[in-house]
Structure 1
């Protein structure tokens, strides 16, 4: 399967220098939303190294003639390395803020990916990676459109970390899909159903983990609240969950369609302009693959 070509689109490796030393755990006006985002931040610290190992294993199996896919895969790997690095730094700050009890949870989560690499087939790991990337491209649309009201007045560093990360996820949204279809070894019908299996597996696995960590973070915070503060927290959290889940069903059916093509996903509003501004603000150096 030939990789998708995006006219005028470029994949870039950016090297942001965030300073998380002064951030708060509840870095958005809706602190419950911030903690749910903080729970999600544990995921890239461990799934990104797993993605890299899967793609490094897959790379030699791609036909040498597929030069564009190989080039995009190289950039994908470098982008994911930066995502991992920044989320590890952010999570370390969370530990410093009194959430060091997250460490054993993180170790257990990390062990899951070690098990996947040791016991699961390359086909499974590619399908899982493709499922995760489908979710990440969706998250980009959420952070640039649906979450604007929740991010208004939020601290700059975590907001920019998430928007930069997810903008790059959208930027390289086709890579895992192309690698999966190149190496699955299945006919189009079976490849579709196995892709859906990988998507469901990733959706359930990651969703359960994020919900579990979110619950623990919120319980930790609420243990120190007065009854009035707890009531307000529950109201804020209900609203945050409403906003965060607003378009879940439509995205779900879009990804599950047999005609789903990540290259044809609608570009999130403001995503391209944001990256241009981001590079001026944070980016120390860049590597580029021209379209």
Structure 2
């Protein structure tokens, strides 16, 4: 792992950065997640680092790099999201507020076990999302704005790169016995529902704004394109995420998707 500092320029990018606008809006909705979850991740992992003993020095060093990577993810997506606000989608911010507040509540009121397990759930989702983006979505990326594609490929490749940090942190603090396993699975399901319900609301808003200016026929085609996209991503994700449920799940054994190493090398 290493910290990379990409210099993305979103000044000329458009919200519909891919030929299939519903695809672009789906990932635009996803972009609200790192803007709020990454600061939460960093704060949780700082607490984890303090709780780990000297026997986990290597993991503590990995957490340092992990946190610095997450800070960059947040910074870049916040900048990207500001472009969306200025482009007619300012209503996103109202949907983001309760989501942001949830993380403040988790930090204030939930146990460290819950927060670490939730973070691991998100990281499991992130590594799966990286595989899907690199391996399954070429038809949607053809003709897309390269700056937006690079943002997502860089981010998701780094998510895959640091995929086992939260997993190892949870294991170091809480072990890998039956209760630790069941709690990890419960927290994973909680994270999937929590994050998924938020992004669904934002995607519905974004597509809703777009469809206000469409004819009935155009809206019908848009809805159909969205259904096809959702089915494709759901099927590709389900195959990978089911592996998280295994008591033998170990993200460190996962193999990077073709193109991830080359992409990361471009950014240092």
What TM-score do the two structures reach when normalised by structure 1? 0.89
**Structure 2 Cα separation of the partners of residues 112 and 255 of structure 1:** 24
Name the counterpart of 1:17: 7
Q: 2:16 aligns with which of 12, 26, 45?
A: 26
**Structure 1 Cα separation of the partners of residues 241 and 43 of structure 2:** 27
Question: May I ask how many residue pairs the two structures share in their alignment?
Answer: 268
User: What value does the CA root-mean-square deviation take over the aligned residues?
Assistant: 1.2
Unaligned 5+ runs, structure 2: none
Name the counterpart of 1:230: 219
Name the counterpart of 1:111: 101
- Structure with the bigger percentage of helix: 2
Name the counterpart of 2:125: 135
**Which 4+ runs in 1 deviate beyond 6 A?**
none
**Structure 2 Cα separation of the partners of residues 230 and 60 of structure 1:** 52
Correspondence 1:56 to 2:46: yes
**Structure 1 Cα separation of the partners of residues 235 and 186 of structure 2:** 24
- Mapping for residues 13-162 of structure 1, pairs under 5 Å: 13-162=3-152
Of 61-70 and 241-250, the range deviating more from structure 2: 241-250
**Structure 2 Cα separation of the partners of residues 104 and 231 of structure 1:** 27
Higher relative contact order (CA 8 A, sep 6+): 1
In the TM superposition, what whole-angstrom CA distance separates every residue of 1:237-289 from its partner, at most 9, and x where no partner exists? 1221122112233223201011100001122122112222x32xxx5xxxxxx
Name the counterpart of 2:208: 219
Name the counterpart of 1:164: 154
Q: 1:243 aligns with which of 214, 223, 232?
A: 232
CA contact (8 A) 2:129 2:237 kept: no
CA contact (8 A) 1:173 1:263 kept: yes
1:47 deviation in Å?
0.2
Unaligned 5+ runs, structure 1: 1-10, 284-291
**Structure 2 Cα separation of the partners of residues 32 and 233 of structure 1:** 7
Name the counterpart of 2:195: 206
Of 116-125 and 208-217, the range deviating more from structure 2: 208-217
- Structure with the bigger percentage of strand: 1
